[in-house]
Amino acid sequence: MTISIAVAGASGYAGGEILRLLLAHPAYATGELEIGALTGHSTAGASVGELMAHLPQLRQRRIVETTAENLAGHDVVFLALPHGHSAEIAGQLSPDVLVIDCAADYRLRDADAWQQYYGTQHAGSWPYGIPEMPGHRQAIVQARRVAVAGCFPTAVTTGVLPAVVGELIEPDLSVIAVTGVSGAGKKAAVALLGAETMGSLRAYNPGGKHRHTPEIVQNVREYLAPEAAPKVTFTPVLAPLTRGILATVTAPLLPGVGPEQIRKVYEDFYAQEPFCLVLPEGQQPETQNVVGTNMVHIQAHVDQTAGKLIVTAALDNLCKGTAGGAVQCMNLALGLPETAGLPMAAVAP
């Protein structure tokens, strides 16, 4: 049986990255997976060759309008659409279809948090797409609907999760995360022009304003006592990079926790996780070492003078932070090998 896949928003950065990964998927090579409808809005009618010359296998294909009709009849539908657009489409698709949403529409369980940060009606929540979070892999395996995590929450959550689950820190996180410009999508914007970003760093949406803040809080809260109230201060920084996130998370250590305990907890927590690599002591995560991969490189440090844990985590925002996470969830939900089609080795230099 051949599994057909449609990609809505195929000409955007996330959609194009999903296609790149699918074209290298072993099940695509054997014919077990086939790529069906590729949809878009402003690019409808254009060929893939015109829009995404880096995908030569699909160069003759044309983008069609994003409608439920064009997406119907597929076994898997990836929604790589702007926030707030997925719910309308998803509601028109058969419950038997595996729908994987790369936007935020179904990530948050708290309707008030959704209203505060997105300002529209809350559509509900789906199983959350970070398989490395305890309990989530099993939910994804059984799901027909999956909400892929945001890129910043993926970096921060995988970085700090061992310390949260291991009860090594107070849930009071200070996060500074440097990101490349592709995280803002493919839309034209003056602030993202090369002349505005080259040779410059700029913080944006600080002070709890970034939309990924409640998602990080939700992920941390899941592993705390019901009465606990996690705090997250999140400051993203735009850097002149195409891809990549380097997140630095600082949190107070609980009394008696030392460097040896931290290292053991981190190494044990990720020992069986193929996409989370705890680096040897003294080696720092670098965005160049994860570009194009589904990896998160992680390092944990103890500042004994300050009594703080400092975690650094690097990933590719378009791969593990979006499209790679989406394909990883697809593999799980379809019963395919979880690592299939997902690169672990980056291009270097």
- Domain extents in the chain: 3-147+321-334, 152-315
d(CA 277, CA 337): 19
pLDDT at position 189 is 85
Phi then psi for 178, rounded to 5 degrees?
-90, 135
d(CA 20, CA 24): 7
Go through the chain and tell me how many residues it has: 349
pLDDT, tens only, 138-166? 999 999 999 999 999 999 999 999 999 99
**Reported confidence tier of residue 59, pLDDT bands at 50, 70, 90:** very high
Residue 11 in tokens: 């000409």
CATH level 2 (architecture), domain 3-147+321-334: 3-Layer(aba) Sandwich (3.40)
Number of other residues whose CB lies within 10 A of the CB of residue 340: 18
pLDDT, tens only, 76-91? 999 999 998 999 999 9
The answer to whether the CB of 317 falls within 8 A of the CB of 244 is: yes
Q: Decide if 276 is catalytic.
A: no
Rounded to an integer, what is the distance from CA 49 to the centroid of its chain?
27
CATH level 2 (architecture), domain 152-315: 2-Layer Sandwich (3.30)
Which member of 102, 151, 319, 329 is catalytic?
Answer: 151
Rg (C-alpha) for the chain, rounded Å, is 20
Instruction: Say whether pLDDT at 185 is over 90.
Output: no
At 273, which amino acid appears? E
